[in-house]
């Protein structure tokens, strides 16, 4: 009897253990599945099935018409995550322009947009597709053809503009340049003090590599120099290594996708070169050399310093500063694509802040970059509507036309 009781007790303990372990495994599996669903977020994937198809356009449109319905169906989705999925032009808004970009993406991937128009267009859900005849933009291997980009020896003008209602600027000679901002690199309210998800970064790389040859990353919350602020040298080197690791993840998945960081290198010291304060300029040069020491300069495909007009409306002062920055940038031995913004910086003097840069000043910047750099990236338009009569756009359009006929 005692032996039978012991066996029974052991059996019950074993059953309890198996049940507990099974429940724990089930719960863990549930968490893993939830993590997979969250990680599956990517630009345009509104039904979370891991790919962008015609159904995403339907769900996207439903979201535009009734955002609350979308949030009700996806209660765990934050507003930032919704932007990650739907904000295809990086203007921090989801609107009809993003829908048109999604439709264009689907068309470039070879989807028959006439079908979606037949199903929903008659009810006024969608505008007519970009072309009345469905087109295939696929190669013989069945892969989407990438956006046409400048060849060797050309001076590319990259479009990183985020205006609402911005038209397709490729017809004017500009090349669209997608940006990976922090909200896209760290979706789902991820901890930005830590490294982003490698699978997510490589998924972004695959998605963009099908359509573009070049992207830029914008990570500004990790200190990368000690010239400004209070970051230690060890902390700066640690961040260099982390930024290099992200590039290596991208290259591991898509070695031909050209990648650079916005405004990262060289250190854009202003007062030293403009006011002739040598020790400041020399310190900035030494700081800029650290990007070589850590291998970060070698990891990027191009250098993209910021040449935004911040402190003065004097074109000659800007030239002195830009000369210093681009001279240092050349030390890295990589193509140089500086960022220009056709407005005065929003952190500059109050009397200049966000004013449109005079046409002749902006034209001088473009000419200067053509002489001293390998291309230029035009940024701006955040929370602005597109204005085809803006003086800076007229100057840029004329400048781009001249490049085409050079």
Closest to 260 measured CA to CA, from 218, 225, 306, 204: 218
- Residue 142: inside a domain: no
- Residue 79: inside a domain: yes
Residue 260 shares a structural domain with residue 340 = yes
CA separation for the pair 212, 199 (Å, rounded): 20
- Residue 290: inside a domain: yes
pLDDT at 2 over 70: no
CA separation for the pair 157, 376 (Å, rounded): 5
- Residue 150: inside a domain: no
Cβ contact 286:333 at 8 Å:
no
Q: Could you write out the three-class secondary structure of the chain?
A: CHHHHHHHHHHHHHHHHHHHHHHHHHHHHHHHHHHHHHHCCCCCCCCCCCCCCHHHHHHHHHHHHCHHHHHHHCCCCCHHHHHHHHCCCCCCCCCHHHHHHHHHHHHHCCCCHHHHHHHHHHHCCCCCCCCCCCCCCECCCCCECCCCCCCCCCCCEEEEECCECCCCHHHHCCEECCEECHHHHCCCCCCCCCCCCHHHHHHHHHHHHCCCCEEEECCCCCCCCCCCCCCCHHHHHHHHHHHHHHHHHHHHHCCCCEEEEECCCCCCCCHHHHHCCHHHHHHHHHHHHHHHHCCHHHHCCCEECECCCCCCCCHHHHHHHHHHHHHHHHHHCCCECCEECCECCCCCCCCCCCCECCHHHHHHHHHHHHHHCCCEEEEECCCCECCCCCHHHHHHHHHHHHHHCC
Residue 254 shares a structural domain with residue 358 = yes
Q: What is the CATH number of the domain that holds 247?
A: 3.20.20.70
Q: Please write the tens of the pLDDT for every residue from 19-29.
A: 333 333 333 33
More confident residue, 88 or 139: 88
- Residue 319: inside a domain: yes
Residue 75 shares a structural domain with residue 215 = no
- Residue 284: inside a domain: yes
- Residue 371: inside a domain: yes
User: Of 8-22, 138-152, 155-169, 321-335, which gets the smallest average pLDDT?
Assistant: 8-22
Residue 209 shares a structural domain with residue 356 = yes
Tally the domains of the chain: 3
Residues ≥6 apart with Cβ < 8 Å to 227: 267, 269, 283, 284, 287
Residue 336 shares a structural domain with residue 232 = yes
Cβ contact 392:362 at 8 Å:
yes
Residue 250 shares a structural domain with residue 323 = yes
Please give the structure tokens belonging to residue 126. Answer: 């969608």
What is the average pLDDT across 92-121? 69
Q: Which domain holds residue 379?
A: 157-404
Query: Which of 54-68, 115-129, 147-161, 374-388 has the highest mean predicted lDDT (pLDDT)?
Result: 374-388
| Domain final position from 123, 144, 172 | 123
More confident residue, 152 or 272: 272
User: Of 42-46, 308-312, 365-369, which gets the smallest average pLDDT?
Assistant: 42-46
- Residue 133: inside a domain: no
Residue 192 shares a structural domain with residue 244 = yes
Residue 29 shares a structural domain with residue 82 = no
Residue 118 shares a structural domain with residue 161 = no
User: Of 2-11, 31-40, 42-51, 162-171, which gets the smallest average pLDDT?
Assistant: 31-40
Residue 300 shares a structural domain with residue 230 = yes
Query: Which of 12-16, 18-22, 23-27, 198-202 has the highest mean predicted lDDT (pLDDT)?
Result: 198-202
User: Of 5-14, 161-170, 340-349, 388-397, which gets the smallest average pLDDT?
Assistant: 5-14
Residue 258 shares a structural domain with residue 322 = yes
Residue 1 shares a structural domain with residue 73 = no
Q: Please write the tens of the pLDDT for every residue from 61-103.
A: 777 766 666 666 666 666 666 777 777 776 667 777 777 778 7
Which pTM does this prediction carry? Answer: 0.70
Q: Please write the tens of the pLDDT for every residue from 253-273.
A: 999 999 999 999 999 999 999
Q: Give the dihedral sign, CA 387/388/390/396.
A: positive
């Amino acid at each position: 009897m005692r032996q039978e009781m012991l066996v029974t007790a052991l059996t019950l303990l074993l059953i309890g253990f198996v049940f507990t372990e099974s429940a724990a495994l089930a719960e863990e599996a549930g968490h893993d599945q939830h993590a997979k669903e969250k990680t599956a977020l990517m630009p345009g994937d509104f039904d979370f099935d891991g790919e962008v198809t015609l159904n995403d356009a339907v769900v996207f449109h439903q979201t535009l018409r009734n955002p609350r319905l979308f949030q009700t169906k996806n209660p765990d989705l934050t507003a930032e995550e919704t932007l990650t999925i739907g904000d295809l032009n990086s203007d921090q808004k989801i609107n009809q322009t993003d829908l048109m970009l999604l439709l264009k993406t689907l068309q470039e991937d070879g989807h028959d947009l006439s079908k979606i128009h037949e199903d929903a267009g008659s009810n006024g859900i969608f505008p007519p597709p970009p072309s009345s005849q469905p087109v295939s933009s696929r190669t013989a291997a069945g892969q989407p053809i990438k956006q046409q980009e400048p060849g060797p020896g050309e001076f590319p003008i990259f479009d990183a503009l985020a205006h609402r209602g911005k038209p397709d600027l490729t017809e004017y000679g500009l090349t669209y340049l997608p940006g990976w901002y922090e909200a896209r690199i760290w979706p789902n309210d991820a901890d930005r003090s830590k490294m982003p998800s490698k699978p997510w970064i490589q998924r972004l790389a695959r998605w963009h590599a099908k359509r573009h040859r070049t992207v830029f990353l914008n990570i500004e919350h990790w200190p990368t120099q000690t010239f400004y602020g209070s970051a230690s040298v060890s902390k700066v080197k640690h961040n260099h290594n982390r930024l290099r690791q992200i590039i290596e993840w991208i290259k591991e998945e898509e070695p031909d996708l050209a990648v650079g960081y916005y405004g990262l290198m060289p250190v854009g010291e202003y007062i030293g070169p403009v006011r002739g304060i040598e020790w400041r300029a020399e310190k900035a040069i030494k700081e800029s050399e650290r990007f070589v020491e850590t291998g970060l300069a070698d990891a990027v495909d191009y250098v993209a310093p910021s040449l935004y007009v911040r402190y003065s409306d004097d074109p000659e002062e800007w030239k002195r500063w830009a000369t210093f920055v681009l001279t240092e940038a050349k030390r890295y031995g990589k193509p140089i694509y500086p960022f220009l913004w056709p407005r005065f910086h929003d952190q500059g003097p109050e009397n200049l802040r966000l004013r449109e840069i005079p046409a002749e000043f902006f034209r001088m910047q473009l000419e200067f970059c053509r002489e001293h750099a390998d291309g230029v990236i035009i940024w701006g338009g955040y929370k602005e509507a597109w204005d085809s009569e803006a003086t800076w756009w007229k100057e840029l359009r004329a400048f781009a036309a001249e490049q085409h006929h050079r």
